[in-house]
Amino acid sequence: MNLIYFLNGLIAFLIFFFLLVKFIKSYNNKEIFLVLRDLNIIGISYLVVSFISLLWFSGRLEASSQDFIILYGILLFVQSILFFKIMYSFSRNKKLFMILGLYLLLIPFLFLIHASTVLFFIISFLFTLLIFLEFVFRGDVYRKVGYLGLVYSLVSIILNLFLLVGIGDVQIFGFISMVLFFSLIYFFIEDLRKYSILPKSEVKERGYFLSLISHLVFIITLTNFVFIGTIGIHESGHLLTSKFFDCDYGKIVYEGNLFHTETLCRDPSATPFVSLGGILLPLLVAVILLLLKGKFLKEVALLILGFNLISVSRDLQLLEMSKSISFSSSFIGIIFLIFGIFLLAKSKIDDSLYFEDINVFKGGT
């Protein structure tokens, strides 16, 4: 059985690496770059599955089919939504939103009726199948990709129907689906490159040492403020939730170079909710910042998400989550931090180039 962990880790990493390479190579082509940016978010999801699968294979973490089901379910949700976004950018068919709405309504319904997670897999693949039908109906270069998408979706649905009646293994069937997905994205990206008509954009050069130092100081300072703020919001979430449940004692303390919240609740059932409060409050703040869409707010929101996901390992243990889920949370948090810092640096540099261009324009007049 250990071999399937290695194979899943390998194919998931190949998907991530392939998308990353194509993304880097497409930097100068705006149209392809935007599509591959969305595909690389899917690639990051596969990287998480790869990381955990290889830890299972090496014996560093205890293998769990249930954890694989959770991770793979999250991956399928992210993949389905982003393929919808990509397909809509090609077709602008507003009827697709009816399919999306139905899919999003079915998800909470499945949880309410405590349906098998495999049923969620089947619905996700059905949603993907309908998306690729749109590719087929377009009648252009994407028709080949549409057929490949239909094969990927149909085979995956059939495999999960076997799982639903208790036949087969989710790890083996997951590997087959990932192999088909790799074939799908390979031909999709090759067709996308072949028919791109946008010229390469010119890259502006800026090599001032002092400018580089100022950018670094700005990024490091802001990141530290966000880190401190996230910890404060996280612990405040614990404290506010404990007040809501009328706990007798609640206080944020600093001990061992770390902040933590001490609570004493008469009702033991309140403890998981107190833990959950610290996880959800920073998430709520990050979502609000993303909705506001102000300068640097998206970058700050990503940093908050990253720091929060890294800091919740103790809370996840109190919620009786496994070490695999805790590792996944920290790993995803690191990815959010890297992406947030990258966008922060990019925004700062773009901002500097913008004002430099204004000065040049004024000098020319």
Q: Per residue in 27-81, pLDDT tens?
A: 777 777 778 888 999 999 999 999 999 999 988 888 888 888 888 999 999 999 9
Q: 255 pLDDT exceeds 70?
A: no
Residue 202: which pLDDT band, with cuts at 50, 70 and 90? very low
Residue 96, both tokens: 């697709």
Tally Cβ neighbours within 10 Å of residue 145. Answer: 22
Q: CA-based Rg of the chain, rounded to a whole angstrom?
A: 23
Asked whether 93 and 69 are in contact (CB, 8 A), the reply is: no
Specify the 3-state DSSP secondary structure of 196: coil
Cα–Cα nearest to 187, from 146, 141, 145:
145
Phi/psi of residue 184, nearest 5 degrees: -60, -50
Cα–Cα nearest to 314, from 281, 276, 287, 286:
276
Amino acid residing at 283: L
**pLDDT tens-digit readout, 283-303:** 888 888 888 866 678 888 888
- DSSP-derived secondary structure for 74-85: HHHHHHHHHHHH
| Stated pTM of the model | 0.65
Q: Which residue has the higher pLDDT, 7 or 218?
A: 7
What is d(CA 198, CA 123) in angstroms, rounded to the nearest whole number?
Answer: 36
At CA 335, angle to CA 274 and CA 4, rounded to 5?
Answer: 95
Cα–Cα nearest to 69, from 107, 120, 115:
120
Residue 232: which pLDDT band, with cuts at 50, 70 and 90? confident
What confidence score (pLDDT) does residue 5 get?
A: 92
What is d(CA 252, CA 210) in angstroms, rounded to the nearest whole number?
Answer: 41
Specify the 3-state DSSP secondary structure of 273: helix
The DSSP symbol for 206 reads -
What value does the mean pLDDT take over residues 323-335?
A: 84
What is the helix, strand, coil percentage profile of the chain, to 5?
80, 5, 15
